[in-house]
Structures are given as C-alpha cells and as structure tokens.
Structure 1
Amino acid sequence: MLNRRHLLTASLAGSALAAWPLRGSAQALEKPKLTLAVGGKNLLYYLPLTIAETQGFFKDEGLDVTIADFAGGSRALQALVGGSADVVSGAFEHTINMQVKGQRLRAFVLQGRAPQIVLGVNPKTMPNFKSVADLRGKKIGVTAPGSSTNIVANFVLAKAGIKPNEVSIIGVGAGPGAVAAMRAGQIDAMSNLDPVITLLLRSGDLKVVSDTRIVAEADKVFGGPMPAACLYTQQSFIERNPATAQALANAIVRADRWIQRAGASDIIKAVPESYLLGDRAVYVDAFLAAKGALSPDGMIPEAGGETARRALASIDPEIAAAKIDLAAIYTNDFVKRANAKYPKG
C-alpha cells in the first residue's frame, strides 16, 4: 500500500513538474522568504550552499533565505520534519530513510557527487591499528548520531563484520570541537569531512582508513555513484511551491558551476573567515581535495538512488525489507531547467 501510494504521488508530481514553464524563476515566487536547514555549513560538503549565499545567487532569484546551521545532518532533517525549516541542504540518503518512515521527501538539486566523508583512526589511541576490524569496541566520532557521517561509518564497519552496537558513536560536530576531541584522545576514530579532515591530517592526528573525497574510491566503496549533499524537502512543498523550488535549484546550479571554474584564491575570498579554522593553507588543501567530488551541474545520477538504497539496506534490515520507490526520492526536472537557463553558470 505504501509503495503504491508513493508511485501514484511520484507520477502526479512528475506530471506537475513537467508542465511547469521552462523559465520557472520568472514566475512569481510562492515563498520568497524561507528557512533552509543545514548540518555543518562550514564543511566543503556544503560549499555550493555557501557560494550561492555569498555570491548573491539566492538574491538574484528573488529569494530571501535564512540558513539555520545545526551540528549534523540528522538535526537539520529534524528541523524539516518538525516544521521549523522549509528545505534542507543535506545528505541524499535521508530521502530513502524517511520514505520507509512514511515521510515523502524529495531531492531536487545536487551539490556533491561523492560523500567526501573520511573515516580515519586516532594515531594516539590506536598506534597499532591494522584493519577496520580493530575498531570493534572503540569510540567513533561523527558530526551527529544518525547523520551521513554515522551512516558511512556504519557501512565501512559492516564490511568488516562490525555491527553498529559494537562501537560507541559520539557526536563531535563539524568544526573545532571535532578537532579537539580527536587531539585530546576522546575518540579512537572519526568519520568527518573537510576542512576538519585535512587539518587533522596535516598535524598528524588522523590516519585515513576510507576516503570518499575521491570519486573513484567512493564508487568502489559503494558499488556505484553515491549522491551526497543535495537540497531536499517535503514533496508537498515542491507541489505547492514549484517556482520557489526552481529558484533554489537555479541558485545551486550556478554555485556548482562557479566552483568548478574557481581557483583556491577565489574560494578563500568567497567563504567566511571562520570556515578557515585559523589556517588558510589547510582550507586550500581541503578545497583541492574536495573539488572533484562536488557536482559540476547539479544533476542527480540515475543510478544514484539504487546505490544509496543498496548501501543503506546493507546496514538497516528495515530498509532491506522495504520496497523503496526510487522515482519518488529525487527529480532532475528543476536542474535541467536551471542548466538551460544558466548554461555557463
């Protein structure tokens, strides 16, 4: 019953989106003032969001966006479900998790084509680390429990035969707190993102185990393209506010394209000083490491939904048993229009 309802909804929504005019942003915006939730805005994972904000792309589209920053993606998701946010800049896989729970969420523009999440161990507390199996019984820091960093950690651990209840998951955020927890030996391993990862690598406080900043490695780890950061929202929001969704997609696509053309100095000038964690060289290195994993055009890969479903199913029996309607968790309709309107960014 649930799956049939999703199929019907996806069909109706697809028809509605297909009928929307090509120049969607030229239409009156239904909700020009909105709140967008994100978990760790300073992360390279969400760089397109920051660029869309600082370069005025949201304003160009007639949008007044308030960005609410949380400790992790799971908290941003809670804001959407709780009604305090209209849209989330978050991990693609949440759309699958929430479909199983009866929540109809849909991604509509991509920011990252690989997770950019790095799992690494603490050389201080695990000097004799040899394999992932050594992490059984250890404390692993993630941005927030239930976030994509937690999911990727679980996935890598599962490949080594370690169940989620055989480690201690600790939320450490995505900034200085995460760095401090690692250096103080409060955690034995970490699943986090740049610039935190690059900062710890440069100071010798992290040993990489799995690095999905590299697209080829991410594809190998997950067995296919794994969509990462995206804008997603309630299906009902898209149905009620198609011009607003189009405007958001336009802004992010322009940001995606801007980043691909940008050099390190352009990025340094475009992001807030606080993002640099006190070291511009570290941020430059982090950007160069992450750039290839950022989406060049906002398009969600057709095989991405199944890759994400398969990864989640391998660690979550409920998802493994569910019939996921992949057509209902994303749409590229808005992105196609955005690329037609802004072919050069």
Structure 2
Amino acid sequence: MRSTRTLFNSAALSVVMLASMLAANSAYAAGKITLMVGGYEKQIYLPAKLAEGLGYFKDEGLDVELLNEPAGVDAENQLLAGAVQGVVGFYDHCVDLQAKGKFVESVVQFSQAPGEVELVSAKHPEIKSIADFKGHSAGVTGLGSSTNFLTQYMANKAGLKSGDVTSVPVGAGATFIAAMQQDAIQVGMTTEPTISRLLKTKEATVLVDMRTMEGARQALGGTYPAASLYMETAWVDAHKDDTQKLANAFVKTLRFINTHSGAEIADKMPKEYYVGDKEGYVKALDQGKAMFTADGVMPEDGPKTVLSVLSSFSKNMQGKQIDLSKTYTTEFVKKVM
C-alpha cells in the first residue's frame, strides 16, 4: 500500500512539475521574457526599471515584462516554479539554493555591496549594538530573504543564539515604516529610499551601514556581491541568445549609472519612486550608486565572502560542498565588453 501511495505521489509531483515547465515554456514561446524584481522601487534594484525606461530591452529586440515582488525569497520561489525566466535579486540566493540541490546563477552582477542599512527605532535608544538585539524584533523583507540572511549573520557574529532575536517580515517602504512606527519592530534592515525617509523624520538611526563597499567589508568581512540578474542554469544553457541580449541591456544600463549623476538617473525613473521627496531620492542615489558595478562582472573575491557569511549561521550549508563557479557566470557580460 505504501509503495502504491509513493508511486502515486511521485506521479502527481511529476505532473505538477511538467505543467509548470509547460507554462514557463508557453510564456517564453509567446516571445516574452518575464523577470521578477524583489521590489523594483528599491534603489538597489534600480537597473531593472532603468533598463526598461531607457529602452534598452527594446533595442535588443526583447519583450521584457517586469513583475514586482517585495521579498526576494518569494521572487526566488517564482523562478523555481517556472513562472518567470529570471529574478532581479541578491546573489546569495544562488549559493543558498545550490546547498538545496538547485542550480541558479548570477548572469549579470549589478552590485558589489548590499546597499542595506540596519536601522534602530528612535524609541529604543538603549539599542547601541547588534548584541543589544536580544529580546527584540528585527524587521526583514521576508523570512528566508537576503535581509534575513544578513541579520542572522550579524546576530550570530555578535554572540547571539537562534531565538534571541525574532525576525519579522515587514517588506520595505510604507510597510517597513509602519512596523517601526507601531513598535512591531525595534530594529530593521532596509534600503533606499526607505532609509532616507526614516532618517529625515528622525524616527530611526543608522547602526550598520552597508551602502558602500567599505561599509560592507567592515560588516561582512569582504566584498559582498548583492543585487544581480539570476536565472536557472538550465534555462541559460538552453537560451543563450536571449540571455546575451539581457546581458547587453543590463551592462549598458550599468554604464549609464556609472557615467550619469543621480539627478540624471532619477529623471528616467517613475516619479512615484521619489515618494514625494525627489531631492532626497537624488541625494541617496549620488551617495550610493558607487555600489553598482560598471560592467556586470562578478567581483573576484565576492562569492567567497557570501559563502562565508551563509556558512556561519545557515543549517542548510552544514556539510555541503558548494561549487562557487556554478553560482555565477561572466560568459555573457564579457562578450558585451
């Protein structure tokens, strides 16, 4: 009876996987590439919407649809389900997924620093270090997200044990701000423009700043490649022409960021992204755009830092041999160069 049930469950799973693959292939066959962005209003993922605004996808003959998913872990799930062809999210998911037997790779590396800041609510001046997080709630975009990874790493490094800090999924933007205002979280990790909004109103202060490469090195022990375009390796291998076109569009976008001011970049973005404060948005861009690579190439020392960070706290990584060379590729970006 058990073997029959097992056979039935295996057959059912195969049907679900086949249906998912067919749906993904059908969407692709229609001539559209769908990319899930882990919150495209976030400045760390700015290249996605900027490439669209500059017309670089169309220049490559691509019909690209950008979908918004505030938490990177949910975007990752959409990729694995075959609902999208790529994700604009953190590279660390590529390392984490290999430990789970899934092979995805960064095709274009957007940034070489997380662009994240650990904020402390102004209501809690007693929190002066990561060690003081004990017994408090920490805001992250989602459980299993990159902000959750980084929060767990810093807590572990500060000597805190699992359970000392409660991770609360609060997204970014208005939901993050509301959670801090309502004291649902006392600390939290977020990005621009949310950072500037809370600093401007003096509702929060900066505890750990990873918006620059130097800040990332101090907090994480090395260069930390973060925002990227990552895709399933099998899809990349089967669709090299379209992958190259995506790389072309995104590398051109990174060059634009590297050679233009924050004001010039902001003018190409949807006005609602300013959240009523264009001056603050531009200022944050000017201060933080150095986190972006100029060519989409993975920093040579970056993957080892990411592996070290994840291995320090993640049970998924224990006893696993990770082949970092399979978590990213420079094949396509170097052809653009």
Instruction: Give the TM-score, by structure 2 length.
Output: 0.89
Q: Mean alpha-carbon deviation: is it higher for 280-289 or for 115-124? A: 280-289
Whether 2:252 is the aligned partner of 1:250: answer no
In structure 2, C-alpha distance between the alignment counterparts of 1:221 and 1:128, rounded to whole Å: 21
User: Secondary structure in 1 aligned to 2:306?
Assistant: helix
Name the structure 2 match of 1:37.
36
Correspondence list, 1:156-195, <5 A: 156-195=154-193
Three-state SS of the structure 1 residue aligned to 2:151 is helix
1:116-159 Cα shifts (integer Å, max 9, x gaps): 111111111x1222221111111111111111111111111111
Please name the residue that 1:3 is paired with: none
Query: Percent identity at matched positions?
Result: 36
Cα distance in 2 for partners of 1:289, 1:174 equals: 20
Structure 1's 84 and 195: CA in aligned 2 closer, same or farther, altered over 3 A? same
1:68 corresponding residue in structure 2:
67
Alignment of 1:110-259 (within 5 A): 110-124=109-123, 126-259=124-257
Q: Secondary structure at the match of 1:108?
A: strand
In 2, Cα distance between the equivalents of 1:165 and 1:31? Answer: 47
SS in structure 1 of the partner of residue 163 of structure 2: helix
What letter matches 1:213 in structure 2? R
Give me the whole-angstrom Cα distance separating, in 1, the residues matched to 2:96 and 2:320. Answer: 10
Structure-2 residue corresponding to 1:275: 273
Question: What does the per-residue CA deviation read over 1:30-82, in whole Å, with 9 as the maximum and x for residues that have no partner?
Answer: 88411101111101111111111110111111111111111210010010011
In structure 1, how many angstroms separate the alpha carbons of the residues matched to 2:129 and 2:173? Answer: 27
Does the CA-based 8 Å contact 1:139-1:168 persist in structure 2?
yes
Instruction: Give yes or no for contact 2:37–2:48 (8 Å, CA) kept in 1.
Output: no
- AA at the equivalent of 2:240: P
* Structure 2 Cα separation of the partners of residues 119 and 30 of structure 1: 43
What pairs up with 1:9-28 in 2 under 5 angstroms? Answer: none
Deviation at 1:204, TM superposition (A): 0.9
RMSD (Å), alpha carbons: 1.5
Q: How does 1:40-59 map to 2 (within 5 A)?
A: 40-59=39-58
Choose 159-168 or 276-285, whichever is displaced more: 159-168
Q: Which runs of 5+ in 1 are unaligned?
A: 1-28, 340-345
CA contact under 8 A between 1:106 and 1:233: conserved in structure 2? Answer: yes
Cα distance in structure 2, aligned partners of 1:335 and 1:259: 16
Distance 1:160 1:302 in 2: 27
SS at match of 1:112: coil
- 1:204 partner SS: coil
Residue aligned with 2:105, SS: strand
Which 4+ runs in 1 deviate beyond 4 A?
29-32
- Structure 1 residue aligned with 2:8: none
Identify the residue that residue 93 of structure 2 maps to in structure 1: 94
Deviations 1:87-108 (A, max 9, x none): 0111000001100111111111
Aligned residues between the structures: 310
Give the partner amino acid of 2:45.
Y
Q: Is the 8 A contact 2:220 2:309 kept in 1?
A: yes
Q: Once the 2 structures are TM-superposed, how far is the Cα of residue 255 of structure 1 from its aligned partner?
A: 0.6
Counterpart code for 2:119: G
Tell me, yes or no, if the aligned pair for 1:100 and 1:319 is still in contact at 8 Å: yes
- Post-superposition CA distance 1:207-231 (Å, at most 9, x none): 1111110211212222221111111
Q: Helix, strand or coil: the match of 1:321? A: coil
Q: d(CA) in 1 for partners of 2:310 and 2:328?
A: 16
Q: Distance in 2 between matches of 1:254 and 1:221?
A: 30
Q: Distance in 2 between matches of 1:313 and 1:167?
A: 19
Letter paired with 2:278: R
- Return the alpha-carbon distance in structure 2 between the equivalents of residues 36 and 160 of structure 1: 36
Q: Is 1:266 paired with 2:264?
A: yes
Partner of 1:289: 287
- Post-superposition offset of 1:184: 2.6
Counterpart of 2:81 in structure 1 is: 82
CA distance in 2, matches of 1:260, 1:246: 21
Q: Secondary structure of the residue that 1:191 maps to in structure 2?
A: strand
Instruction: Give the distance between the partners of 1:276 and 1:184, measured in 2 at CA.
Output: 24
The residue identity in structure 2 corresponding to 1:88 is V
- CA 1:164–1:207 in 2, change beyond 3 Å: closer, same or farther? farther
Deviates more, 1:283-292 or 1:232-241: 283-292
**Gaps in structure 2 of 5+ consecutive residues:** 1-27
C-alpha offsets along residues 176-203 of structure 1, whole Å, 9 cap, x if unaligned? 2212222232210111111101111121
Distance in 2 of aligned mates of 1:255 and 1:318: 35
Rounded to whole Å, the distance in 2 between the matches of 1:82 and 1:329 is 19
Query: Do 2:87 and 2:230's aligned partners in 1 also have CA atoms closer than 8 Å?
Result: yes
Q: 2: CA distance between counterparts of 1:68 and 1:318?
A: 28
